[in-house]
C-alpha cells in the first residue's frame, strides 16, 4: 500500500502486531455499507466518473455476497478489513478500485464502521433487555401475592412479595435500556468525510453519506471525528452497569437455590451436576453471569485506559478499541440470554419463602406502627416497646404473633387484642400500600404500568 515511500517490507512481528483482521473482520458488513454510501456520493458529486462508480458498486456487491457466504480470506499482510475489501475489489474490477479511496481515509472509515456496528449492538442488547423484562414481569405477575422475607444487610427485615422483588429488577433493566438509548442518540453522527483528520478538498456531500447510513447528521469537527471513541466507552459503561445488575440477580438466585434458603429449585436446563457428588445441582449459569460482570468491567477499564493519554487525532492504539467492545457485547448477550432463560424456568418455593418470611420477628415494625397509629405513641417510644416485645418472644422461643396478649399487655398496657391483626406476614405486606410499596395491589399496578410501557 505504501510501496511508493518504503523500500523494504515489514518484519514478521511488525506484520503480526499491526494486523487487526482477526477481529475487525466482524465489521465487514458495516465496511461495505460505508463504502457503498461513499462511492454513491462520489458519483453523485461528479468526483468519480459514473462508469467507474458503477464498476465499484458492482464489485462491492459481489464482495458482500462472498463475505455473507463466509468467503473472506484472511491475510495478515493486508492488515485490516478495509484493506481486505479494497484488495478484493481490485482483484474483481482492476485499478479503477483505487478510485474508491478518494476523499476518505481509513481513519474516518473505521470510525464510521465501528459506530455502525455499535449502533446495531445497542439495538440487539436492547431487545435482549426487553426480553428479560418480559420474563421478569410474567413471573412477578404470577407471584404478586407470594410472601417472602425482605432483607437488609442480608438479615430478615420485613416481609415483601416476590412480585415486588422481581419488579425491582424490571426497574434496573428499565434504566439500563435508557442508558443504551442515550448512548445511541449521541453516537448517531457520521464521521465519514472527515478523511485522515483535516477533512478533504474534494467537494463531498457529508449530509448525503450520513443520511444513506442512517445517521442523524454528519459530525461537526474532523479531528474529533477520527479520534472520538466516546460511543464505544458509553456502550461499555452501559454494558458494565447492565452486567452488574445481572450479577446481583444471579447472586440472589445462587443464594436462594442454596439448601439453607431453599427459595428456588434450579431447572435442569440451567444447572449442572458434579462429577463426584451425585446429589449435586449447581447454579453454574448464574455463577457465570456473575463472573461475566467482572469481565465486562474489565472491558470498560481496558478501553478507558487505552484512550486516556491519546493526543489528537488518530493513533494506532485505537485499533485496540474493538476487542473489548466485541467481547463485552458477546458476554452481555450470553448473560442476558442465560438470565432470561433462568427467570423463565426457575421453580419458586412459596411455602419455604413464607415460612422464612415469618422468622426474625419480621413484623416488629408493624407492631411499632400499630402503637403509633392506634395508641398515639411517638415512633421512637414505640420502637423501644417493640424491642422489649421482641426480647420476650426471643426468650420464649416464639414469633411475635405467638406471644400471649398478657405478655404484650404486660410490656405496655396500651396494647390490646387488635394488635394480632397486624402481626401476620400477609397483613404486613398488605398494609404497605404507599406508592412503590410491596402491597400486592401496588405490585399489580406496577406490573400493569410496566406492561404498558413495554
Ligand atoms: N485498522 C485500523 C484501526 O482499527 C484502521 C485505521 C488505520 N489508520 C491508520 N492511520 N493506520 O484503527
Cα 315 from Cα 107, distance rounded (Å):
9
Per-residue model confidence (pLDDT) at position 278? 83
Copy the grid coordinates of residue 153: 444487610
Cα 358 from Cα 71, distance rounded (Å):
63
3-state secondary structure of 348: strand
> Active site includes 153?
yes
3-state secondary structure of 213: coil
CA of 215 to the centre of ligand 1 (A): 22
Q: 84 in ligand 1 pocket by Cβ < 6 Å? A: no
3-state percent helix, strand, coil for the chain, nearest multiple of 5: 70, 5, 25
Q: What is the total residue count of the chain?
A: 454
CA of 319 to the centre of ligand 1 (A): 6
- Residue 236: Cβ within 10 Å count: 30
Per-residue model confidence (pLDDT) at position 454? 87
> Active site includes 274?
yes
Q: How far is CA 11 from the centre of its chain?
A: 41
Per-residue model confidence (pLDDT) at position 398? 94
Q: What is the pLDDT of residues 405-452, one digit of tens each?
A: 999 999 999 999 999 999 999 999 999 999 999 999 999 999 999 999
Mutual orientation of helices 81-93 and 50-68 as an angle, nearest 10°? 120
C-beta separation of 238 from 186 below 8 A? no
Within 94-214, residue ranges assigned H as helices are 106-142, 162-187, 206-212
CA of 119 to the centre of ligand 1 (A): 20
Cα 315 from Cα 292, distance rounded (Å):
30
Copy the grid coordinates of residue 435: 406508592
The pTM score is 0.95
Q: 318 in ligand 1 pocket by Cβ < 6 Å? A: yes
Give me the catalytic one of 143, 153, 304, 333. 153
Q: 226 in ligand 1 pocket by Cβ < 6 Å? A: no
Give me the catalytic one of 22, 178, 258, 274. 274
Copy the grid coordinates of residue 235: 456502550
The strand ranges marked E within 135-266 are 147-152, 155-161, 189-190, 217-218, 264-265
Q: 161 in ligand 1 pocket by Cβ < 6 Å? A: no
pLDDT along the chain (454 residues), means of 10: 81 94 98 98 98 98 98 96 98 98 98 98 98 98 98 97 98 98 98 98 98 98 98 98 98 97 93 83 94 98 98 98 98 98 97 96 95 96 97 95 95 95 95 97 98 92
The strand ranges marked E within 105-164 are 147-152, 155-161
Per-residue model confidence (pLDDT) at position 315? 97
What is the rounded radius of gyration, in angstroms, for the C-alpha atoms of the chain? Answer: 31
Per-residue model confidence (pLDDT) at position 378? 96
Strands 347-348 and 264-265: antiparallel
Amino acid at each position: 500500500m505504501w510501496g511508493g515511500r518504503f523500500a523494504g517490507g515489514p518484519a514478521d512481528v511488525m506484520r503480526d502486531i499491526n494486523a487487526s483482521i482477526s477481529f475487525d473482520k466482524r465489521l465487514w458488513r458495516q465496511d461495505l455499507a460505508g463504502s457503498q454510501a461513499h462511492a454513491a456520493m462520489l458519483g453523485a458529486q461528479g468526483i468519480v466518473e459514473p462508469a467507474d462508480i458503477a464498476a465499484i458498486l458492482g464489485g462491492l456487491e459481489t464482495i458482500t455476497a462472498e463475505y455473507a457466504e463466509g468467503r473472506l480470506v484472511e491475510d495478515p499482510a493486508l492488515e485490516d478489513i478495509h484493506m481486505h475489501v479494497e484488495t478484493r475489489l481490485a482483484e474483481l474490477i482492476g485499478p479503477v478500485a483505487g478510485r474508491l479511496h478518494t476523499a476518505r481515509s481509513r481513519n474516518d472509515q473505521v470510525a464510521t464502521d465501528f459506530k455502525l456496528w455499535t449502533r446495531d449492538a445497542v439495538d440487539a442488547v436492547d431487545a435482549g433487555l426487553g426480553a428479560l423484562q418480559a420474563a421478569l414481569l410474567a413471573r412477578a405477575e404470577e407471584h404478586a401475592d407470594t410472601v417472602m422475607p425482605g432483607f437488609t444487610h442480608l438479615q430478615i427485615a420485613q416481609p415483601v412479595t416476590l412480585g415486588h422483588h422481581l419488579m425491582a429488577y424490571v426497574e434496573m433493566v428499565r434504566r439500563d435500556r435508557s442508558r443504551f438509548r442515550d448512548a445511541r442518540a449521541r453516537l448517531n453522527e457520521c464521521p465519514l468525510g472527515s478523511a485522515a483528520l483535516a477533512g478533504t478538498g474534494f467537494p463531498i456531500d457529508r449530509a448525503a453519506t450520513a443520511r444513506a447510513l442512517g445517521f442523524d447528521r454528519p459530525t461537526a469537527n474532523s479531528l474529533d471525528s477520527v479520534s472520538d471513541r466516546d460511543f464505544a466507552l458509553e456502550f461499555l459503561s452501559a454494558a458494565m452497569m447492565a452486567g452488574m445488575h445481572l450479577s446481583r440477580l444471579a447472586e440472589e438466585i445462587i443464594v436462594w437455590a442454596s439448601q439453607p434458603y431453599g427459595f428456588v429449585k434450579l431447572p435442569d436446563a440451567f444447572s449442572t451436576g458434579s462429577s463426584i457428588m451425585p446429589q449435586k445441582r449447581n447454579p453454574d449459569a448464574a455463577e457465570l453471569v456473575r463472573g461475566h460482570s467482572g469481565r465486562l468491567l474489565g472491558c470498560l477499564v481496558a478501553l478507558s485506559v487505552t484512550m486516556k493519554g491519546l493526543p489528537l487525532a488518530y493513533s494506532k492504539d485505537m485499533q485496540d478499541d474493538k476487542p473489548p467492545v466485541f467481547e463485552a457485547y458477546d458476554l452481555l448477550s450470553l448473560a442476558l440470554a442465560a438470565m432470561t432463560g433462568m427467570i423463565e424456568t426457575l421453580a419458586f418455593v412459596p411455602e419455604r419463602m413464607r415460612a422464612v418470611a415469618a422468622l426474625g420477628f419480621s413484623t416488629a415494625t408493624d407492631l411499632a406502627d400499630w402503637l403509633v397509629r392506634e395508641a398515639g405513641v411517638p415512633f421512637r417510644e414505640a420502637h423501644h416497646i417493640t424491642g422489649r416485645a421482641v426480647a420476650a418472644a426471643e426468650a420464649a422461643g416464639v414469633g411475635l404473633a405467638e406471644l400471649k396478649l398478657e405478655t404484650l399487655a404486660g410490656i405496655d398496657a396500651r396494647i390490646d387484642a387488635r394488635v394480632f391483626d397486624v402481626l401476620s406476614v400477609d397483613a404486613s405486606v398488605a398494609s404497605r400500600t404507599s406508592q412503590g410499596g410491596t402491597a400486592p395491589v401496588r405490585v399489580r399496578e406496577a406490573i400493569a404500568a410496566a406492561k404498558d410501557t413495554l
